[in-house]
Structures are given as C-alpha cells and as structure tokens.
Amino acid sequence: MRLIVIAVLVCFIAGFECRELKEAFTWSRISYAGLGSTESRNGYQQEGASSSSTFLFPESGNDQNNFGGSYIYENNIPMGANRWKDKLFVTVPRRRVGVPSTLNFVWMNSTERHNVPLIPYPNWRINQFDPTREPDNFVSIYRTAVDACDRLWMVDTGLIETPGNNTRVLPARIIIIDLNTDKVIRQYTLKPSDVVPHSTLANLAVDVTANTCDRAFLYIPDLSGYGLVVYDFHENDSWRVRHNFFFVESLHGDFNVGGQRFHWNDGVFSVALSGVNPDGFRTMYFHSMAGVHIFSVSTRVVRDRGLATRSNHESDFKIAAERAGGSQTSASDLHQPSGVLFLSLVNQNAIGCWNVNNNARSENFDIIHKDDQKLIYPCDLKVYQDEVIVLSNTMPVFLFARLNYDETNFRVWISKVSDAVRDTSCAAMHRKPAGRY
C-alpha cells in the first residue's frame, strides 16, 4: 500500500508518464524450460518444479533429426501473449525450423523478468513436432483467446511456414483447452469451404458470457484470404463470411517499421467485441492491417449462418471510423466495461485508443504509449479483465534484416486499463451529439 502511495506521488512530483504501459517481461532470445542451456534448466526447476511433471521435456528433447523438436533460437519469434490468472501465455508459431514448442507460458509471479524460459503448455509432448507425430500434436499457433468460462481457444494453422517451402501437415483446426484441468476439450477441423488455399488464420476472438458457456461463437479473421470464419460451439459448425471490407485497402500498404520499409497486403487482421447491446448481440469492430478504416457489424449478422453467408449484406456492415494515414493497426481489443478499443499502431511504434462511445472524430483517437526504441512492432494486444497486455517483437527486423540476439527484442507490456487511458480522450466518454446533422 505504501509503495502505491509513493509511486503515485512520484508520478505527480517528477511528472513521469504514469499512464504508460509497463514492461512485464523481456527477452533477447527465447529459450524453453528444460531444453538447451543450463540456465534454462535451472530456470525450469525454479519456476515449474512445484507443478506437475507433465511440463518436463523428454530426454531426447534436442533430437536433431526432428526438425520441429530441434531448437534454433534465432527462429523463435513470439507472436502472441495472453493471460489467465497466474499464467502468461506466449505463442511461437512455426514459421521456421527449430521451434521446439508453439504454445507456452511463464508464471506471472516469476521473480525473473528477463529471458525467462517458456514452459510448454499443457505439456511438452503435445507441442512436439516430428514426422511420426501423434495426430493430436500442435503444429503452429499464432495467438490465443481466453474466455469468461476459463477456456483457452486457439487456431492451429497446421502449417509449417518455412520461406519458399510451406508444408501443410494438417488442415487448420480449432483447439479449446480447459484452463482448470489443462485438458484439450475440443478439436474442430475447419471445413474446406471455410478457408481458401492462401488463408492465414493468425488471430481470434470469442463471443460468450460466463452464464452461456455452451453458446459460444469464435470469430477468426483470415488476413490473407480476406474473409471471416465463424465457429458455432453449440452446433459444432462453421462458415465463412465474405465482404469487401475484409480486403486490403490498396492505398495503405506501405509500412516503415524499425528502419525497414516494406509493402504488405494484409486484410482483416483482428476483431474486437463490444459488451452485449440491449438487443442481446455485440458490435464487432474490425480493420485490415493494410488500411486506416475501422468497420463494424452486429454479431446478430455473423452468428446467423443464413444472414452471414448472404451474397448481399446490404447496409449491415458499417464504417465506424476513418483514421489518418499511417494508422495501420495489427492487433486490437476492446475493454468492454469502459468501451475503450486499443489499437496496435505498427507504423508508429505506439498503442492507440478510441472509446467507441465517443464519436469518431480524430481528436478522440489518442496515443497511450509510444516508444521508437522499445515498442517496435506491437504484434499482439489482449484485454484480460481490467488489464491490457501487449507483445512487441521487432518482427520486420527479423524478416528483412537481422535481429541482434544480445539486445532485448521481445517484450510483454502490461498495464491496468484505467492507468493506460488516464489523461487521454479515451478516459472520458463524450456522448455522440444526437440528431444535430
């Protein structure tokens, strides 16, 4: 308590930006508990020894004949971060060889904060990739969603992505884990009609309340196939939604990040859900990565297979906001109690916000944190309860130049939502003027 009081005083006296995001964990290179260096073995024993032995790597964990199981630290780039209670999940998709485990976590209470080894979740065996693999094993996971029913949702892309040689191991499938038992409770392979040959299913959002756990819907944006896949948990069925708003905005494909200039054509990248509206449905906000608009649609439309797959959506899809050039956004998420939509502004090394209860004038789009050295390529952003969690991973430097693995490259930032938006236009709710024009 006294510490908090002192911290608040320091904020006032020294004029520090207390609203900024705080670095919770940092890595210069990713290692895994129980694999590789002596430090990580020790790290494993300190961090995980008290929990069950299912987190152990097998004796042959560094088998060089096993291209997924071998460990090449340069190829381990974390892409997703999310939280459930005392676990911080960190995903490492298999975009190169040498990724030993794709779904992992670290303990939030870890006393180490730098280069903490990742612990495979729910165990090492299911994360191992090898050619004689068990059929249930995870192939490659980009990001995760945590729902109000203590479940962890993810899409296993089924794809080993090595440059110039993508290998499809399995069709893409949805995996759901019960976080209280650490058991996979459902696997659902997407239908051929849900995807296109060049689909990329790198993000997801779950639509459910704690009282309706069996009535969940999962929304999966397809950033390179330019569509949205919907999974109905109760019916155990899925469909694909098509709309021009899911495409790349052709004038906004230029990026300049971490000293790299490049052109991307990523379409719909993430979806963020409002709280439940009076009609019982949510508003889904979405945007293309190469784009500046934010669009919206009611989940009433996408949850109804008939409505969702109509060829003419009439005016059901709306423009929620048109932002300035340079506001290209990767991940986004919405804090439902306050209406704050957080936006990862990859071209600005910044996290932005907009309170969706405010009108979409430019002064209502604010920056909560910007750092041209440390916040390069905010790649995932999740709201967990009243916290915002950001992962930045310097990825364009990895893709187009070389990372220096002796410097800090990967960071997970965590802040309370109320701290993050303090003194921004997102903190105050300005009612939309009704019926003026």
Ligand X SMILES: *[C@@H]1O[C@H](CO)[C@@H](O)[C@H](O)[C@H]1NC(C)=O
Residues that bind ligand X (CB under 6 A): 50-51, 86, 107, 109, 111, 160, 165, 167, 186, 188, 236
Write down the residue that tokens 């919206």 correspond to: 296
Of the pair 133, 300, the CB lying nearest ligand X is at 133
Residue type, 37: S
* Number of alpha carbons in the 13 Å side-chain half-sphere of residue 423: 11
Q: How far is the CB of 37 from ligand X (least distance, A)?
A: 20
Measured CA distances, 196 to 166, 192, 238, 432 (Å): 15, 8, 14, 40
Measured CA distances, 419 to 5, 369, 372 (Å): 14, 11, 21
- In 10 A of CB 300, how many CB atoms? 17
Residue 312, burial from CB neighbour count under 10 angstroms (0-12, 13-18, 19+): exposed
- What's the angle, vertex CA 287, arms to CA 282 and CA 293, rounded to 5? 110
Q: Which of 163, 154, 86 is nearest to 126 (CA)?
A: 154
Supply 423's token pair.
């003194």
Of the pair 109, 315, the CB lying nearest ligand X is at 109
Q: Which of 191, 107, 218, 199 is nearest to 159 (CA)?
A: 199
Q: How far apart are CA 223 and CA 19, in angstroms?
A: 32
Q: How far is the CB of 280 from ligand X (least distance, A)?
A: 25
Write down the residue that tokens 């794809």 correspond to: 159
Q: Are 351 and 21 in contact (CB under 8 A)?
A: yes
Q: How far is the CB of 290 from ligand X (least distance, A)?
A: 29
Q: How far is the CB of 162 from ligand X (least distance, A)?
A: 6
Q: How far is the CB of 47 from ligand X (least distance, A)?
A: 7
Of the pair 73, 107, the CB lying nearest ligand X is at 107
Of the pair 38, 236, the CB lying nearest ligand X is at 236
Q: How far is the CB of 331 from ligand X (least distance, A)?
A: 27
Of the pair 107, 247, the CB lying nearest ligand X is at 107
Q: How far is the CB of 49 from ligand X (least distance, A)?
A: 9
Q: How far is the CB of 236 from ligand X (least distance, A)?
A: 4
C-alpha of 104 from chain center: 14
Of the pair 139, 204, the CB lying nearest ligand X is at 139
Of the pair 173, 411, the CB lying nearest ligand X is at 173
Q: Are 250 and 328 in contact (CB under 8 A)?
A: no
- In 10 A of CB 424, how many CB atoms? 19
Of the pair 160, 229, the CB lying nearest ligand X is at 160
